[in-house]
Amino acid sequence: MRHLDIILLQQFYSETDTEVIAQLVAHLYQGDILLAVQEALTWLQGTWGFAVVHQLHPDQIVVASKDSPVTVGIDLLGGQAFIASDRKAFGQQALTVVRLQNNDCALVKATGITLWREGKLHTPQAVDWQGIPTDDLGHKAGYAHFMWKEIMDQPQSIMQGLEGRFEACARHVLLSELETLKEQLLGVKRLVFLGCGSSYHAGQIGAALCEEMLQLPAQAEVASEFRYRTPLIEGETLAICISQSGETRDVIAACQEAQRLGALVVALCNVNHSTLEHLACATVSVRAGAEVSVCATKSFTSQVVTIVLLLLHLATVKGIRSARMDQLMQGLQGLTLAVETVLAQAPAVAACAGEARRFSRFFFLGRCYMAMACAEAALKLREVGYADVYALPSGEMKHGAIALVDSSTLVIGFCGHAHVRKQMYSNLMEVQARGASVVLCSPEDEEMRSELWWGRFVFPANDDVLDPIMYVIFGQMFAYHYALQSGFLIDCPRNLAKSVTVE
């Protein structure tokens, strides 16, 4: 009779599924903690990343991983061992770092690590680790919250994303991370962008730009849905998997499914040596720097910039050259200054957000790329402001949602694109006539008098695909100040996690 037959006859009480593992290991323990964990793993289903310690073996820690990040750092000189899910937890420690892969189990001591892979002894492979630079450790630098610091970081983070990749004078884009994939990229005929939350919104912008600029069919997919339907993926498909941490469980699963179906997979990550980086054919870093706040701010805008660079690089590989590409590169050249102009309006945004607390319902409305910016801005207000907030292409309001509009509604209109601005103004007038108050966000427009609107913000005009960056930054500032003046948690909103490693 195996041990499990006995376990089924026992009862225990727990509030978490993790404690089931502890109960199982405890029952199987017969003097050797490693053997107990290894046998327990044969009964487990699902995903896990855990460490086990035993009072009778204080010098040993047994760790195991399946589809969940576990990293071990050994300080051989100091006689110490560290275990974490995120390597940033190691700080500036100079360590020998080993990352566990799927179905790995390891015995960790202060003097080293013994690793088993698929039940067999395996030589651990250390990853490159020099310790995180002081500037990347996530200090608030005098700001009250990480979220506000990271919002204000965006001119710098955007500049970091462009540095060494974009030569403004030569109008040339180079992504060295993709140099080994030139032949495969040449044959790409279709793109799919996979992400969750903010990363999905960045992918939506990328898919729209791909069809506009490269004339290649493209779509953005919610990663958590992708593997549960029957997507049409061929060998000529480029799948771009987007994740700030590189550990998002749903994106990792979507990446594996895309690979299984024959796609060429490129990852966009903000954290090096992640699971997604390990799986993908190549990884392009978004270079946003450490982002501590749960709400994605600078990582989102850096993702958009990186996606634009990636598509320009793909165009170059395919020998495509157009006036549209030149226009876009000119927009990149002036993007940092445009972002600084938006950030300078922070006091006015704070005042607007404070006054907006009297409304009970919010809509963000836009068209084309602005509709995608609305989805991201609404997500920020929902995450930290716990607000009843919706985002729609403005033309969709009359197909049902306008029934929710009354005097308790605030509508924020993103009117960044000249070719649909008249339609946007018409839609905003429609909700205003039904009692809603309207905040207008647009470039300078002499035809629209400021007294028509409850609030008015003027942003510089750039390129249609880059404009969402500025309007989303407004949304980030609005959400921050709304939450701050409401007394809500900022950096750690309820029920949310920075890296979602469960399905």
Please, which residues have CB within 8 angstroms of residue 63's CB and are 6 or more apart in sequence? 49, 50, 51, 52, 70, 72, 83, 100, 105, 106, 108
Q: Which CATH class is domain 3-134?
A: alpha beta
Determine what percent of the chain is predicted with pLDDT higher than 70: 92
How far is the C-alpha of 368 from the C-alpha of 488, rounded, in Å?
32
**pLDDT value for 377:** 98
Q: How confident is the model at residue 376 (pLDDT cuts 50, 70, 90)?
A: very high
Count CB-CB contacts under 10 A for residue 387.
23
**Do 144-333 and 346-486 share a fold?**
yes
Q: How confident is the model at residue 4 (pLDDT cuts 50, 70, 90)?
A: low
**pLDDT value for 346:** 97
Region 307-325 average pLDDT = 92
* pLDDT mean across residues, the chain: 88
Q: How confident is the model at residue 86 (pLDDT cuts 50, 70, 90)?
A: confident
How far is the C-alpha of 503 from the C-alpha of 500, rounded, in Å?
8
**pLDDT value for 9:** 46
State pLDDT tens for residues 101-134: 888 888 988 888 888 887 788 877 777 665 555 5
Domains of the chain, residue spans: 3-134, 144-333, 346-486
**pLDDT value for 84:** 84
**pLDDT value for 194:** 97
**pLDDT value for 136:** 57
For the whole model, what pTM was predicted? 0.85
Q: Which CATH class is domain 144-333?
A: alpha beta
Q: Which CATH class is domain 346-486?
A: alpha beta
Instruction: Give 400-469 as a DSSP string.
Output: TGGGG-STTEEEEEE---GGGHHHHHHHHHHHHHTT-EEEEEES--TTS-GGGSSEEEE-----TTTHHH
Name the 3-class secondary structure at 119: coil
Q: Give the strand pairing for 437-442 and 455-458.
A: parallel
State pLDDT tens for residues 218-272: 999 999 998 888 778 877 999 999 999 998 889 999 999 999 999 999 999 998 8
What separation, in Å, do the N-terminal and C-terminal C-alpha atoms of the chain show? 34
